[in-house]
Amino acid sequence: DAKTTQPTSMDCAEGRAANLPCNHSTISGNEYVYWYRQIHSQGPQYIIHGLKNNETNEMASLIITEDRKSSTLILPHATLRDTAVYYCIVRVAAYGQNFVFGPGTRLSVLP
Amino acid sequence: NAGVTQTPKFRILKIGQSMTLQCAQDMNHNYMYWYRQDPGMGLKLIYYSVGAGITDKGEVPNGYNVSRSTTEDFPLRLELAAPSQTSVYFCASRRGQGKVQPQHFGDGTRLSIL
């Protein structure tokens, strides 16, 4: 019960921006949206999180719609090393308000 | 700063054997988690802890036990290994105070039950 919906897979050309969408229509008003990625079978790596304002850090930008029902993670200049599974996560009421990871989006950056 | 350290990295068990997966963090995080990840799937929460002496079940706790005697350590115990427990196990931690902070993950333990 991931509470988020993401495309199964996406391709992106190297050097171009990768835009990864996520729907979280049932998110509550004070819950953050988190993005992680997992390269091969390594442990998930935190990328960015946000509440309602757009956020940017050294890795990516996060655009959250005004109604907060969806968001987009932007990798501005994708490289081959950005090939990974990207997870959009919100906390759920079950299991002590913990994080639930769905299957994510498999991003392939192509040369 | 080591972050979250998991040992062992790989293990093969026979059906019915038992073992403990170790997890240690050096960030003084209150919250710790155990997840399992089956091939092609997301992570499923097994157990979590909000502090030393406090643990609770996640989505898939059957067949596992945990303890949290210190802030740093959160071992996961498999008592009677079954083939269905073949998976990659990830431990994570996060700071518990204030705004919800992101989780930090270890590199995983790859476990095969034969």
Tell me which of A91-95, B4-8, B16-20, B66-70 is least confident: A91-95
Using the beta-carbon criterion (under 8 Å), do B102 and A34 form an inter-chain contact? yes
- Name which of A32, A42, A101 is nearest B42 (Cβ-Cβ): A101
Q: Which residue of A has its CA nearest to B33?
A: A98
Reply yes or no on whether the pLDDT at B2 is more than 60: yes
**A63 CB within 8 Å of a chain B CB:** no
Reply yes or no on whether the pLDDT at B3 is more than 80: yes
Nearest of A106, A41, A28 to residue B100 by alpha carbon: A28
Task: Compute the average pLDDT of residues A67-96.
Answer: 90
The predicted-structure confidence for B32-73, as pLDDT tens digits, reads as follows 999 999 988 889 999 999 999 999 999 899 999 999 999 999
Give the E-state strand segments of A6-104 in sequence order.
9-13, 18-23, 33-38, 45-50, 55-56, 61-64, 70-75, 84-89
Percent of chain A with pLDDT over 70: 94
Residue A99: predicted pLDDT: 81
Nearest of A38, A82, A84 to residue B108 by alpha carbon: A38
Q: Would you give the DSSP letter of residue A70?
A: E
The predicted-structure confidence for A4-23, as pLDDT tens digits, reads as follows 999 999 999 999 999 999 99
Residue B23: predicted pLDDT: 98
Who wins on pLDDT, A21 or A1?
A21
Helix, strand or coil, per DSSP, at residue B57: strand
Task: Please give the Cα distance from A86 to A35 (Å, whole number).
Answer: 7
Q: What's the token pair of residue B17?
A: 């054997």
A-B contacts at Cβ under 8 angstroms = 59
Who wins on pLDDT, B77 or B99?
B77
Our CA-based measurement puts residue A7 at a distance from the nearest CA of chain B, in whole angstroms, of 14
Q: Which residue of A has its CA nearest to B110?
A: A41
Residue A43: predicted pLDDT: 93
- Contact between residue A40 and residue A33 where contact means Cβ atoms under 8 Å apart: no
Task: Please give the Cα distance from A5 to B62 (Å, whole number).
Answer: 27
